[in-house]
Amino acid sequence: MSHDINQVASALGALPELTPDIQKELERLAKTPYFDLPKVKSCHLFLEECRLGNACARVVGDSGVGKTMMAKAYAKRLKAISTREEAVYILLPPNCTSKGIYEEILKALGFTYTKGNISVLRNRTRQTLTSRKVAVLLFDEANHLKRDALGEMQYLEEAEVVKSIILIGTDRLDAMICQNEQVQRRYPRYQYGRVTPNELKDLVELWEAQVLDLPVASNLASKKPFALIESATGRCIGKMDELLRRAARKALIMGEAKINYERLQEIAAQF
């Protein structure tokens, strides 16, 4: 086996050697960018209305439309403007149980030890949220919640531990919530949708100029590459960002100064 591996490695040759400048550019392109886009501002305003009105809600949208970026940015914005209250972003794991909710909240608050029965975790979470003056809990991938775990959300509401609970997820979250009329009323729906073709074109131009920033213009908003980007991403901001940054990184690794159409096709085929 090791002999075969050595033969394959020898036949393929060495990996591309990158200059320090290229490595620096690749590190830059690995970071997720953030822009204060109109749809993000609109959703943040809705979340502020929920916080100030002590209300809960659900934010629903397709995978890849940018819900996670929006939620994390809101938490940072609230921290920047308020010394009294904060929002905490929590990413829920698949098949999240009632106990799992408290474990994930404590992890998001910086706790490394999250053991104990649900009663212990519930009390520890309540005390910590109160002492930290947490106003908003943002539960991402809330469609991962088990059905009975929604009852714990009701406990957090009724105990007035936080002002607002926001559930973020896909249409699967809708399907789960709509099975209970009472829960549906408590969590009104905010649709976080895809961008329009014109909005996507503007974003592609913005990303090429300010995020990719390659030595030579790739003209990604021109007719042929833009059609490919629109088709591959379904007009989802998150997918567009991933596609363009991955294509830019591959171009730099291959010693290319821009993203040509063939390179874009190669990366788009992986979506």
Domain boundaries, the chain: 38-191, 195-268
Max Cα-Cα span within the chain: 68
pLDDT band per the 50, 70, 90 thresholds, residue 12:
low
Q: Which CATH superfamily is domain 38-191 in?
A: P-loop containing nucleotide triphosphate hydrolases (3.40.50.300)
* Lowest-confidence region among 10-24, 151-165, 187-201: 10-24
Check residue 85 and give left, alpha or beta (phi > 0: left; psi -120 to 50: alpha).
Answer: beta
Q: Look at residue 3 and tell me whether its pLDDT is greater than 70.
A: no
In 3D space, the residue among 70, 39, 66 whose CA is nearest the CA of residue 234 turns out to be 66
Task: With cut-offs at 50, 70 and 90, classify the pLDDT of residue 34.
Answer: confident
How many other CB atoms are there within 10 angstroms of residue 173's CB atom?
A: 23
Question: 184-219 b/e with 16+ CB inside 10 Å = b?
Answer: eebbeebebebbeeeebbebbeebbeebbebeeebb
- Identify whether the C-beta of residue 110 lies closer than 8 Å to the C-beta of residue 159: no
Q: Which CATH number fits domain 195-268: 1.10.8.60, 3.40.228.10, 1.10.10.10, 3.40.50.12780?
A: 1.10.8.60
pTM of the model: 0.86
| Bridge partners (DSSP) listed for residue 128 | none
Give the pLDDT band (50/70/90) at residue 35: confident
Contact (CB, 8 A) for 99 and 121: yes
Q: What is the pLDDT of residues 104-156, one digit of tens each?
A: 999 999 988 788 899 999 999 999 999 989 999 999 999 999 988 888 888 88
Q: Please report which confidence band the pLDDT of residue 229 belongs to, taking 50, 70 and 90 as the band edges.
A: very high
Q: Are 50 and 182 in contact (CB under 8 A)?
A: no
Instruction: Decide if 253 contacts 26 (C-beta within 8 A).
Output: yes
pLDDT, average across residues 238-258:
96
Q: How far is CA 88 from CA 20, 95, 130, 191, in A?
A: 37, 21, 13, 21
Query: Model confidence at 159, in pLDDT bands (50, 70, 90)?
Result: confident
- Order of strands across the sheet with 164-169? 86-91, 134-140, 164-169, 57-60, 189-191
* Nearest one of 84, 73, 46, 36 to 166, comparing CA atoms: 46
Give the tens place of pLDDT for each residue, 43-80: 999 999 999 999 999 999 999 999 999 999 999 999 88
Percent of the chain at pLDDT exceeding 70: 94
Q: Tell me if 38-191 shares its fold with 195-268.
A: no
Which of 4-18, 55-69, 168-182 comes out lowest in average pLDDT?
4-18
Supply 224's token pair: 């042929």
The answer, yes or no, to whether residue 203 has pLDDT greater than 70, is yes
